Amino acid sequence: MELCDKSALELSRLLRKGEITSRDITESVFQRIHEKESSINAFITTTPDLAFQQADKADRRLRKEKNRSPLMGIPIAIKDILCTKGIRTTCGSKMLGNFFPAYHATVVDRILDQGAVLIGKTNMDEFGMGSSTENSIIGPTHNPLHPDYVSGGSSGGSAAAVAAGETILAIGTDTGGSIRLPSAFCGIVGMKPTYGRVSRYGLIAYASSLDQVGAMGRSVQDCALLLDEMTGHDPLDSTSADMAGSNFLDSITHDIKGIKIGIPKEYFIQGLDPRIQDHIMEAVSLLKANGATIREISLPHTQYAVSAYYLIATAEACSNLARYDGVRYGFRATDDIEDTITMYEATRSLGFGREVKRRIMLGTYVLSAGYYDAYYLKAQKVRTLIREDFIKAFENVDCIIAPVSPCLPFKLGEKMDDPLQMYLVDIYTVSLNLSGLPGMSIPCGSADGLPIGMQIIGRPFDEQMVFNVGYAYEELSGD
């Protein structure tokens, strides 16, 4: 097995023993990028010179420092929606095609301080708006397992890079399933933490009350390792939870005896691919056979989640994206403009892609006079009801298991002409963003050679339970 195919935890142990170097791992990763990237398109920008400098620095630190982070010397890719000082950050959009931030996002600072090696910035749906990574300025990311299929979105580049061995770990963001869906489609593990657990400072906003930064890796432990280095209060982010950093990796256990797992009946209905349902229920049976208690629960407002989400998300998007007007930074259509309004119109018409413009128009409509109460305000009330459904359910269970997607990975271009069908792919993921809950996608078998993801949902700030149940299943299933 090549070094680029090993888990972060295994590589960290080998580094500590002095059996390999960070440069060895980094060379392996870039060799894989050289071999695979032309057929996957996972990266918008790669940073080989910087990566080897960081790898050599990590190797020096590994020889000198006793208390070393398990992340030290491990290659990592970052979704191109997080600011990186002096490194192009595009959000997959022409609007930011030549944007070089003057600062790092907090999560980037934290992982680099711990000695991680930055491989590059990964491809994504423009401004995070999509479920397939087909809405990107550089074209779609292909599923590394089946190149004719999508990688999921919007963090498809991060998921594909991990699955293909083009990086060891990756950071993604999740506004409506953008970590969990591509993780499921590419057969890796992806963790969306509780809203507020990880700083959003330096995350270029799509929908501020829904966006969250999370971890992607080849195993549950890899995600715990990465998330540990990302958490903790950040005074630069007003939504950051006032709590200390985490210790998820060292606290993981596979003992699930007595743990109560909820199965929401509203998630296992017509429209869910029966092959996905069968694999998830087999997983549930395996957990039950090893000591977990299984209970059916109800989340009665689930049917309204997609509608509420796409009203709230688009409303916040049209507000957040108003800053891109061609005046201070980013793309400008032309300098030969007679008046400001004409410049705005030309810049936004040419700078934004079709899906982004669609969502801006939807958001503008629902916030407009005469429609605010009927749409946006009502959606916020439904959001409260959805969160209350989960709070009530967690009175009787410790975690919830559900599908990630109602369908298997689909072919490139299959849903691009039908936005509604694309939006419905998010039906099982958006509720967690509306509720601010943690959720993880973990591989759960396959059908027709296409990977299936199982979603584990926890109480607010109880990522540890999610990791424990995921790790138990990983150990029991042998995946």
Burial group, residue 85, by CB count within 10 angstroms (0-12, 13-18, 19+):
middle
Q: Tell me whether residue 21 is in a domain.
A: yes
Tell me if 227 is assigned to some domain.
Answer: yes
The secondary structure of the chain in percent helix, strand, coil, rounded to multiples of 5, reads 45, 15, 40
185 has pLDDT over 70: yes
Contact present, 141 and 151 (Cβ < 8 Å): yes
Which domain covers residue 221, as residue numbers?
A: 3-255
Whether 226 maps to a domain, the answer reads yes
Q: For residue 404, how far is the Cα from the chain centroid?
A: 13
φ, ψ of residue 422 to 5 degrees: the values are -65, -40
User: Of the candidates 476, 473, 436, which has an alpha carbon nearest to the alpha carbon of residue 458?
Assistant: 436
The tens digit of pLDDT for each residue in 258-310 reads: 999 999 999 999 999 999 999 999 999 999 999 999 999 999 999 999 999 99
Confidence at 68, pLDDT banded by 50, 70, 90: confident
Q: Is residue 428 part of a domain?
A: no
- With bands split at pLDDT 50, 70 and 90, how would you rate the model's confidence at 338? confident
The predicted model scores a pTM of 0.97
Which position among 69, 131, 154, 158 bears the catalytic label?
A: 154
Which is catalytic among the residues 22, 93, 178, 435?
Answer: 178
Phi, psi angles (nearest 5°) of residue 471:
-65, -40
pLDDT digits over 361-373, tens only? 999 999 998 889 8
**Predicted local confidence at residue 238, as pLDDT:** 97
Residue 31 pLDDT greater than 70, yes or no: yes
Q: Is residue 337 part of a domain?
A: no
Q: Considering the domain boundaries, does residue 429 fall inside one?
A: no
User: Pairing mode, if any, of strands 399-403 and 450-458?
Assistant: antiparallel
| pLDDT level of residue 328 (50, 70, 90 thresholds) | confident
3-state secondary structure of 454: strand
Give the residue from 402, 464, 371 showing the smallest Cα distance to 265. Answer: 402
Output the six-digit token pair for 393.
Answer: 């359910």
Q: Looking at the 3D structure of the chain, how many domains does it have?
A: 1
User: Any catalytic annotation for residue 79?
Assistant: yes
Sheet holding 293-297, edge to edge: 43-46, 117-122, 75-79, 169-174, 212-217, 189-192, 439-447, 450-458, 399-403, 260-264, 293-297
Q: For residue 337, what pLDDT band results from cuts at 50, 70 and 90?
A: low
Q: Which of 184, 236, 235 is nearest to 452 (CA)?
A: 184
Within a domain: residue 393? no
Return the bridge partners of 399, or none.
Answer: 261, 458
Please state whether the peptide bond connecting residue 93 to the residue before it is cis, i.e. omega within 30 degrees of 0. Answer: no
Buried b (16+ CB within 10 A) or exposed e, 112-132: bebbbbbbbbbbbbbbbbbbb
User: Which alpha helices (DSSP H) does 148-301 contain, by range?
Assistant: 156-164, 180-186, 220-230, 248-251, 274-289
Helix or strand or coil: residue 213?
strand
Task: Confirm if 107 and 229 have CB atoms less than 8 A apart.
Answer: no
pLDDT of residue 311 exceeding 80: yes
pLDDT at 369: 83
Assign 336 a pLDDT band (cuts: 50, 70, 90): low
What is the CATH number for 102? 3.90.1300.10
Query: Mapping DSSP to helix (H, G, I), strand (E, B) and coil, where does residue 142 land?
Result: strand
Average pLDDT, integer, range 150-165: 98
Q: Report the SS3 class of residue 282.
A: helix
% of the chain beyond a pLDDT of 70: 99
218 found inside a domain? yes
The residue with tokens 């109480």 is 459
Q: Which of 6, 36, 79, 192 does the annotation list as catalytic?
A: 79
